[in-house]
Structure 1
Amino acid sequence: MKKLLNTIYVTTEGAVLRKDGENLVAEVEGAERARVPFHMLGSVVVFGAIHVSPALMAACAGGGITLVLLDRNGRFQARIEGPVTGNVLLRRAQYKASDAPEEIVRSVVIGKVANQRAVLMRSLRDYGEEHEAEDRAAIEAVTERLARILRRVELSDDTVDLLRGSEGEAAQLYFSVFDHLIRSPDPEMRWHGRSRRPPLDPVNALLSFLYTLLTHDCRSACESVGLDPAVGFLHRDRPGRPSLALDLMEELRPVLADRLALSLINRRQLRVRDFEVRDAGAVFLSDEARKTVLTAWQERKKDERQHPFLEEKAPLGLTPYLQAQMLARHLRGDLDAYPPWFWK
């Protein structure tokens, strides 16, 4: 359990949350682990099989404390709150901001490009001597071009369309050297470019699966703070697409998804035998490989990093929820700008 931004996150399955006087009490196997006064709480987010007493639900609803229930993988299940809520005002602010989203889009693009560049620079540090001279030069050239794109985005007054163009240019550069980061002995595990719906090679199949997991987390994060996951800023609105969740994941996926994919491949936890080719050449993870990825995904989310804006450590798995909260605070006027998340 971790308290961040006046929100309690409970991730230990089997935990019991109950009311004791004017306090929330968390117990694990009958032992009290935490006690937090209600007046210090804004919301409670629980993951998985956690018992929440009816008395606590009533106290939270009566005190304006939102209770969010997610499954163990972070998928949104329910949101419990009392009759007085600012969600209508928050969503109105979100819809209004979507008509002139330049500054939010700028922050998202800056976060994404900076994190893509950080992934490449980390590879140079970790495998510098093992890279071929030509590969190293290619990666270094892309990091320089990404740095120029960052400066351009930060200093310009570009329109949303131009910002989207800069994001697309950075993604093309980043993936142009992605194969240089792969160190698998299997020739089938090489990178030949992005393919989706369906993925046509093992690396794309792995990335698509991880992006799906991250999208679910980001959608849950949006819903947990009362934002409409369908109305985004960087991604255009489209029926059935969680545009805001896709916005939120852009700055996170180079670190949470791409680096995890590279780790699984480079550590040889996944080989070509862990993938299946189906009709029309579509490639998917086998059942056992999917379990391997899910286990690694859950472990990855436990890693703690210093949050650059909050200046305190938080598990990577909570980052989408923290970013959604800060976006909501920006839309409400509590923050002058939406602060992107930078990986260091």
Structure 2
Amino acid sequence: MTSEVPWVTVWGYGADIRATPKTLIVRGKTERTAYPLSSFHHLLIVGGHTLETAAVSHLISNNISVSFFDVHGEPVGSIRPVGGDAYPLRSGQKNLPVRSSAMSVITSALKARMMYLNELASGRDDGLFYKGELEILSDASSELEFLITLPELGRIFTLTRNMYYEILSRAVAPELGYHRREKPPYVDPVNAMFAHGYAVLYASVSVAAAGAGLDPEIGALYGNVVPAGKNRGGCVMDIMEPLMTPMVDRVVVGMAAEGRLSRRYEVSSRCIVSERLMNEFNLRLAESVDSAGINRNVRMYADAVSNGGSSGQF
């Protein structure tokens, strides 16, 4: 069987992951799936599985990266093919002007989120914004350049991001139980799918950033203004922040609006999305998680590092 997306995701529990020099073999509880190593460039392991040591050797020798996530989609670690000086831009990242670089990330992310919210609102008769919300977001965007301290930037970033996720809840069916972005364990399918989509995006950006010579751990916004989170690289989070809306959120909210999530998940201590829904989601992500767009953002970030932060917005 050939992978239909440029990555392979093994999620859940109990799979046995092996590889020959040319094929990845995943044995689940009920089926065995084979993926030619030439058909994908990234293996994402989500949850608890058994990974044969020899499989790692075959994957790395075929220039395939491996990223590990816990069952909630939170990063745990990664293995990447590297050679020579792995992160030649590390010293430049340490000297990057934090305020202007963080503000660039915030501005780009807020612009993407406002564009999407306005797009969603234009297609609704009952409106999407509560009174004053649009003005708050607009004012925040115009006032960013006048904020002096890092805590001020952090407050605006957190405020606008939280507002964005709450406003999104009005674009999906109430019975899905989504109200805002939550911390794991997720008890609704929208948050669970956000987490999976962000894991795919994180893994893709992480590989691209390392390939460009950036140290994935050293960020401007993340790590200096707001916490990057456990096992998350600040540089990766900086680069992916403006990409989350166009590459992941559009897909999740779009599928919810189409009714594709209804009755395709179970909730106990956490939300478990059906395998069929996850497969459909991965196919849509393969179209929206654009490698060219990721590489463009990585290159802009790397250029800013090389030029001491003088190359404009990321």
The TM-score normalised by the length of structure 2 is 0.70
Q: Distance in 1 between matches of 2:257 and 2:229?
A: 37
- Report if aligned partners of 2:147, 2:153 keep a CA contact under 8 Å in 1: no
What count of residue pairs does the alignment treat as equivalent? Answer: 246
Counterparts in 2 of 1:239 and 1:284: CA distance versus 1, 3 Å: closer
Opposite residue 209 of structure 2, the aligned amino acid is C
Q: In structure 2, what is the equivalent of residue 235 of structure 1?
A: 222
Shift of 1:337: 2.8
Q: Distance in 1 between matches of 2:91 and 2:291?
A: 28
Q: Deviations over 1:245-265 (max 9, x none)?
A: 111111111221111111111
Counterparts in 2 of 1:225 and 1:282: CA distance versus 1, 3 Å: same
Counterparts in 2 of 1:76 and 1:107: CA distance versus 1, 3 Å: farther
Structure-to-structure mapping, 1:77-226, within 5 angstroms = 77-79=80-82, 87-88=87-88, 90-97=89-96, 100-125=97-122, 127-129=123-125, 132=126, 135-138=127-130, 141-153=132-144, 155-182=145-172, 184=173, 187-226=174-213
Q: Distance in 1 between matches of 2:98 and 2:267?
A: 41
- Corresponding residue SS for 1:147: helix
Q: Distance in 2 between matches of 1:224 and 1:293?
A: 27
Shift of 1:79: 3.8
Q: In structure 2, what is the equivalent of residue 265 of structure 1?
A: 256
Structure with higher RCO (Cα < 8 A, 6+ apart): 2
Matched, 1:320 2:294: yes
Shift of 1:86: 9.3
Shift of 1:270: 2.2
Matched, 1:49 2:38: yes
- Corresponding residue SS for 2:81: strand
- Report if aligned partners of 2:95, 2:308 keep a CA contact under 8 Å in 1: no
Opposite residue 327 of structure 1, the aligned amino acid is Y
Q: In structure 1, what is the equivalent of residue 275 of structure 2?
A: 287
Q: In structure 2, what is the equivalent of residue 36 of structure 1?
A: none
Q: Distance in 1 between matches of 2:94 and 2:218?
A: 7
Opposite residue 263 of structure 1, the aligned amino acid is G
Matched, 1:298 2:286: yes
Shift of 1:96: 2.1
- Report if aligned partners of 1:70, 1:220 keep a CA contact under 8 Å in 2: no
Opposite residue 298 of structure 1, the aligned amino acid is A
Q: Distance in 2 between matches of 1:195 and 1:239?
A: 16
Shift of 1:299: 2.1
Q: Deviations over 1:105-134 (max 9, x none)?
A: 000000111111111111122x233xx2xx
Identity of aligned residues (%): 18
Q: In structure 2, what is the equivalent of residue 64 of structure 1?
A: none
- Corresponding residue SS for 2:213: coil
Query: Bigger shift: 317-326 or 252-261?
Result: 317-326
**Bigger radius of gyration, 1 or 2?**
1
- Report if aligned partners of 2:188, 2:271 keep a CA contact under 8 Å in 1: yes
The TM-score normalised by the length of structure 1 is 0.64
Opposite residue 95 of structure 1, the aligned amino acid is K
Q: Report the RMSD for the aligned CA atoms in angstroms.
A: 2.9
Structure 2 unaligned segments of length 5 or more: list them: 8-36, 41-61, 68-77
Shift of 1:293: 0.8
Q: Distance in 1 between matches of 2:287 and 2:66?
A: 13
